[in-house]
Structure 1
């Protein structure tokens, strides 16, 4: 396999690789044989650079920490065999020397090697180009010139892709993985996101590589015994060996992303978080297809920019290998114990979905697992900052060694979780708008420069297109933007509106967006113990199933991975045209009844409660018997059909299942439906009472979690609302409505 693969749907990718149905059994056998091969030493070199003088980044050191913890605790690397170079240590000479001494000189044919780079990328002139291109992509070390104002450098000390090809070729092992979280186009900052591409503005042509770089390439070419023509021929054929994974495709961006409490590479964070949850029976191409969709979805949610991860492999024909050429050596987990002083422990939360990280603080309860996935006790989280936290081992036994794995039992959502609105510095009357925002319940205004925002209040500018749903919105109109300055449909007023009046106009929308944030914090498809499946499909023709989500730990083997089946395009998610009629199906696979709710989040942030919709008896409608499939909408019961209408954009449907009665939430649902004069079978659309409804849902979940806390001898906290993964499942189905 020597060709670039776009990370699309698992089905589309498998077809592209030739893994048709007739080959699946043989491929599975090849994969099992690959897992059975005796592993040698595991070596890794991780490079992360934040401290670029004029174009600093913020997430690259986090990337290194994410990879290091994953490799040591989930894939069994010895800490001494994972070498990291950060900031000032990551010079050109330092990176090349470390690659030689730590990887080339140490790696034997049976060993596994990983090289990871997080930092700026670039393009350089290539004296010996391939594929008709006059440039070669490159990695920017800390000591390479980015150029001053109006003075772009003519020659730079970047490390060219050709150099990396030669170094990979010198490795004795074929089990090589290279991960590059950088790019070479579209640099600069947009909102709270930064692109990992060096901006050397003002230059009419690309910089040249340094003479030292060209001499270094010649030295390695000669040591490998290759002529210049042979090197060109090998480069033309593809990557040197193993697998090269890039965070973005040619001409795309790799985001240095703001996840609220954590800054990290969007791709690296989502990749490593997924690998903490991955089972031991998943080939590399399937894992990367799923991570690719997650990365694309994140990039499109926070900005208009496209980030499509890619990989290229040089493997024997038909061979399928696991990620990093290794099966995980530990069970799937949200966290791991990294230190202890009985009964206190320190915790790394690398396996938690970034959308839910805020719920893994004080009073979170985690199961303690041994290497076979058996429960050995519980840990109560005391505090967390970013991805590191502290906790207390419950019970009388010792806390055991470090490297013990932790799975979610009860998460704790802060009761007064707020919607964070960034204020663009160009706004007039900043004090007045802060006062109006602060007066709204659970809305936190903050300067955009602080980061950690959910939306940004700012004016439309000439370089930002008006949203398709408001084509008449003009430059200067105030509205809401994503953290990457993607305008939110339906939020823009008229030019000349004061920021304070814009906030008053947006009051209901802000409350709905707060409800959306609360709902997304509940998502737990990887950790819920309930057995629930949700699907979405067009009613007429086309795909049988457009998207499928299921819980992973709900009565299934710990070896399973977070699963999403989707018919996607190169855009990375299901795309359905306007006027398509769709239907959802939710299957209760539990031996007991469950209470089911479905909420749709429209592209403009509007919330639509589509089930239950019997406002006179919502509890009866929500209760779904064991081994039963619910269709929504259902002919003869519901008074609506789900036909996709403008505005175009991303639609997310949240499926919430509970094993405990939702008495307060269902009471509020019935009250809202009655007050709005809704007939049975009609959905509740864009209601200002959605925050009250979501709060009541959390209150019901907290009643169940309280019993779980007290069963472990833990006193619930009044400002924390618990969600017990044994009683609640919250899944998400995402698709895009296109014109």
Structure 2
């Protein structure tokens, strides 16, 4: 079904002068004045919309989890009263339900001094227009009596404007472009797959909404937090629960990195942390007055933390664990320990997980809901393996053969269950791809077009081992919870020795978690340097690794690592921007003891390492040696944990940096 732009907007009760999608993307339209937040005295009112069920059409599965996350953040971090949070779920969020909520319920509540926070999780789409007016109209897909219907994004924004609050925030965990891979149990793009089946919402006859051509809302600019203005954003399985990746990323950043993050800081820092579809990158947008807090108001709790106590019941505690990165949260095992931030600092031991929430028991009976918790010991299974999904296009026999073949790769890779987190996909061409559908670089191509599945899996084995080593490095990142005293800086070797990025641990109250340039750009051959400083009273030991855009692994230090004496900085470590072009990831792994097992493995594999950086062709044994080196010393009289690696935040740090290598102008 094709809709003319004029007809569509008129069906929504708007004129052709309504604010269009292109207007949303012009920061120059933003009103540059913002209400002084220290003087904000109004109510904080929220409308949370989550739609999983669309009737007979394709459904989603993570939108209710998104609402649970947002409601918790608003109450625990930003001081929203539970009675001031309105929730619309599934068929409650029909077109008529949304118009009624805005124009009747909220209209009578919102005063000019109030803040209004609106979150939408559900499908988005771009409706097809005729050649005379070819610009597609972005819209939010809603459940209707006769099938899905859509409300123009400009109309949705106008409904917030019509309330005329002092500050408005619009969070959209949706996308408008189709993905490169069809939906699967572990991955579902939030773009409605069939825009021709969608009808426009018909506005009530009493609707008098007038869309404004600027972002002005009362005294402040409307803040927009969009998961994807272009490209796609997905929902994924985290601990058996579908969750919007953008909502999870917002929760992680606001919890563990910087509760006081501003619009500008979010655009530069959060953007590089949100995983994207590599074949069709999502273009996230954070619009609003640059210095405005991301959620429009200062948080009531400003200390970064792994999470908070969510609820208490006779059997234990439910805790929010959104401060962990999703991949780490998926991997950590029961027995992991967190400290409850009180005067007595009781210990909470994790017993289970569901989505970004967990269950556990405290060492003391009385704890306060909403109290922050911080990671102290991370348990990771020794038998952790890559989770491989089988492409939907594989036949039943192929799926049986592939499951059997991967089962033989003990502690390397296994076929995932439908509710599992997925690392990679084994596709119909017997190749290994990322979840969004990009072929993993470095895989040896098949020599025979009729290659059997078992032979294909064996062909992939060296690459799977390398990918597992890289996964282990990602799981060692703990820069928001480590207690080791460090400062690491990255500089460009120009005449000004320009500081690009700096990270200091441990995090402290009021400390900024942002970086001046979290993902700097170097041209091929350009020089930079790292410097690591031990600001504590005990010696520290450090190994450096680089992951190339082709997912190769390089060692940046000698095999014995660097020893950093107390209150001492290392000599500058030179960085040369190498090919291949693209994003490079650097890991600095720091411990309080020498890396003896790593060194032994390196000696067996390579002898004397003379070339730095050194490409690591067989990296998994080396990383396994590193894991043994970082293992926390068990209490006297107890045996080491045989099922899990146990890492203590007082004994290990994992810091990650990224930079992009581009071609020089002369050769581009």
TM-score of the superposition, structure 2-length normalised? 0.84
Superposed CA offset, 1:530-560 (max 9, x none)? 23233445556798344x25245x1x53223
The alignment of Structure 1 onto Structure 2 pairs a total of residues equal to 633
Partner of 2:236: 257
Change (3 A) 1:238 1:248: farther
Quote the Cα distance in structure 2 between the aligned partners of 1:340 and 1:237.
Answer: 42
Contact 1:279 1:559 in 2 (8 A): no
Moved more, 483-492 or 692-701: 692-701
Partner of 1:685: 615
Matched, 1:96 2:76: no
Partner of 1:515: 469
Change (3 A) 1:145 1:517: farther
Quote the Cα distance in structure 2 between the aligned partners of 1:435 and 1:124.
Answer: 44
Secondary structure at 2:546's aligned position in 1? Answer: strand
Partner of 1:400: 367
Partner of 2:138: 137
Structure 1 position 198, deviation (Å): 2.2
Partner of 1:46: 48
Listed as ranges, the matches of 1:638-649 within 5 Å are: 642-646=576-580, 648-649=581-582
Partner of 1:390: 359
Superposed CA offset, 1:495-536 (max 9, x none)? 333322222122221111111111211111111122323344
2:509 to 534, 558, 568: 558
Quote the Cα distance in structure 2 between the aligned partners of 1:517 and 1:103.
Answer: 47
2:536 to 568, 583, 590: 590
1:183 to 165, 175, 182: 175
Change (3 A) 1:237 1:559: closer
Matched, 1:286 2:265: yes
Quote the Cα distance in structure 2 between the aligned partners of 1:479 and 1:633.
Answer: 38
Change (3 A) 1:356 1:663: same
Change (3 A) 1:214 1:89: closer
Listed as ranges, the matches of 1:389-428 within 5 Å are: 389-394=358-363, 397-427=364-394
Superposed CA offset, 1:363-393 (max 9, x none)? 11111114xxx56322122222322222222
Contact 2:521 2:661 in 1 (8 A): yes
Superposed CA offset, 1:51-94 (max 9, x none)? 22322222222211111111111111122222222223222222
Secondary structure at 1:105's aligned position in 2? Answer: helix
Change (3 A) 1:481 1:574: farther
Quote the Cα distance in structure 2 between the aligned partners of 1:426 and 1:133.
Answer: 34
Secondary structure at 2:346's aligned position in 1? Answer: strand
Quote the Cα distance in structure 1 between the aligned partners of 2:193 and 2:60.
Answer: 13
Change (3 A) 1:342 1:448: closer
Change (3 A) 1:66 1:237: closer
Contact 1:337 1:403 in 2 (8 A): yes
Partner of 2:108: 105
Quote the Cα distance in structure 1 between the aligned partners of 2:67 and 2:332.
Answer: 22
Matched, 1:481 2:433: yes
Listed as ranges, the matches of 1:502-651 within 5 Å are: 502-537=456-491, 539=493, 544-546=498-500, 548-552=501-505, 554=506, 556-566=507-517, 573-613=519-559, 618=560, 621-630=561-570, 633=573, 642-646=576-580, 648-651=581-584
2:299 to 323, 328, 331: 328
Listed as ranges, the matches of 1:263-412 within 5 Å are: 263-279=242-258, 281-295=260-274, 298-300=275-277, 303-313=278-288, 320-330=291-301, 331-341=303-313, 344-370=316-342, 376-394=345-363, 397-412=364-379
Matched, 1:726 2:657: no
Quote the Cα distance in structure 1 between the aligned partners of 2:658 and 2:295.
Answer: 29
Structure 1 position 186, deviation (Å): 1.9
Partner of 1:698: 627
Contact 2:96 2:203 in 1 (8 A): no
Listed as ranges, the matches of 1:435-446 within 5 Å are: 435-446=404-415
Quote the Cα distance in structure 1 between the aligned partners of 2:313 and 2:121.
Answer: 33
Superposed CA offset, 1:382-425 (max 9, x none)? 2223222222221xx54222111101111111121111122224
Secondary structure at 1:599's aligned position in 2? Answer: strand
Quote the Cα distance in structure 2 between the aligned partners of 1:715 and 1:388.
Answer: 30
Quote the Cα distance in structure 2 between the aligned partners of 1:198 and 1:697.
Answer: 45
Contact 1:141 1:159 in 2 (8 A): yes
Moved more, 175-184 or 161-170: 161-170
Structure 1 position 289, deviation (Å): 3.1
Change (3 A) 1:4 1:654: farther
Matched, 1:668 2:659: no
Give the gaps of 5 or more residues in structure 2.
1-21, 664-668
Partner of 1:10: none
Quote the Cα distance in structure 2 between the aligned partners of 1:143 and 1:375.
Answer: 53
Change (3 A) 1:125 1:443: closer
Quote the Cα distance in structure 2 between the aligned partners of 1:4 and 1:577.
Answer: 34
Change (3 A) 1:564 1:500: farther
Contact 2:30 2:214 in 1 (8 A): no
Quote the Cα distance in structure 1 between the aligned partners of 2:349 and 2:215.
Answer: 53
Contact 1:578 1:737 in 2 (8 A): yes
Secondary structure at 2:36's aligned position in 1? Answer: helix
Change (3 A) 1:190 1:238: farther
Quote the Cα distance in structure 1 between the aligned partners of 2:310 and 2:460.
Answer: 45
Matched, 1:159 2:151: yes
Superposed CA offset, 1:136-162 (max 9, x none)? 43211122766xxxxxxxxx7422234
Contact 1:183 1:197 in 2 (8 A): yes
Contact 1:422 1:455 in 2 (8 A): yes
Quote the Cα distance in structure 2 between the aligned partners of 1:209 and 1:85.
Answer: 19
Partner of 1:491: 443
Partner of 1:658: 591
Superposed CA offset, 1:269-301 (max 9, x none)? 111211112446543322343222323xx104x
Contact 1:551 1:729 in 2 (8 A): no
